[in-house]
Amino acid sequence: MEQQIENLHDQIKIFKMKKIKQFTTSIIATVLILSSFMACDEVGETTTGGTSAKNLAGEWFIDASDASGKVSEHELFSTYNTAANNNTLWLDDQNSFKKFKIKVTFEKEGSFSASSASNEYGSVTVTITNGKVEKEAAVSKGGHKVDKISFKAEFSNEPGVLYSYEGSRRTGFSEDE
């Protein structure tokens, strides 16, 4: 008889433990379901915004020439915003040809310039004049209409020598590389 009572107590304990486990599982499932609905709650229209230089930023394939003709062809340049995110932009020749990375001042319509700008790649300062980005004013090697970039540069180690730079925005298509 004592054995039967003890077995009955064990069965009641097991029954209670199962009920506690079921209750806990249902609470956890309810919390997860409710939190998933809350995570999907729309907060309305959001806009990501962009940098101040977003219309001028990109990679460019550029040819350079001096008074005697082309001196460098199809060099990869980059233009990108500065940390200040104001009206300044990095103009970077990726350490090729004349090796310069300078900050230029730009206007919303796409013009840019710099006067004796410090060069991150060396001690030579750079002056940029007649800089501009024109929307869909160039054709890439593969025949795609793309933005055009052009500017003139004078380097402090070659006073009076003007280099003309002109190129097109990089598309990423293999035929344009």
| Phi, psi of 92, deg, nearest 5 | -130, 120
- Return the ∠ at Cα 160 (arms to 157 and 165), rounded to 5°: 85
The DSSP letter of residue 7 is H
Residues 77 and 62: beta-carbon distance below 8 Å: yes
**Single-letter residue type at 91:** L
Q: Which CATH architecture has domain 58-176?
A: Beta Barrel (2.40)
Asked if 162 contacts 154 with a C-beta cutoff of 8 angstroms, the reply is yes
Domain extent listing, the chain: 1-46, 58-176
Distance CA 112, CA 106 (A): 4
Instruction: Quote the pLDDT of residue 43.
Output: 57
Tokens describing residue 37 = 């609905």
- Amino acid, single-letter form, for residue 63: D
- Give me the residues paired with residue 27 across strands: none
Q: What is the pTM of this model?
A: 0.71
DSSP, collapsed to helix, strand or coil, labels residue 161 as coil
Q: Give the DSSP per-residue string, 53-101.
A: TTTT-EEEEEEEEETTEEEEEEEEEEEEE-TT-SSEEEEE-TT-TT--E
Position 37 scores a pLDDT of: 65
Mean pLDDT, contiguous 10-residue spans, the chain (177 residues):
72 77 83 68 60 88 92 92 91 94 94 97 97 95 94 97 96 89
Query: Scanning the structure block, which residue is given the tokens 């709650």?
Result: 41
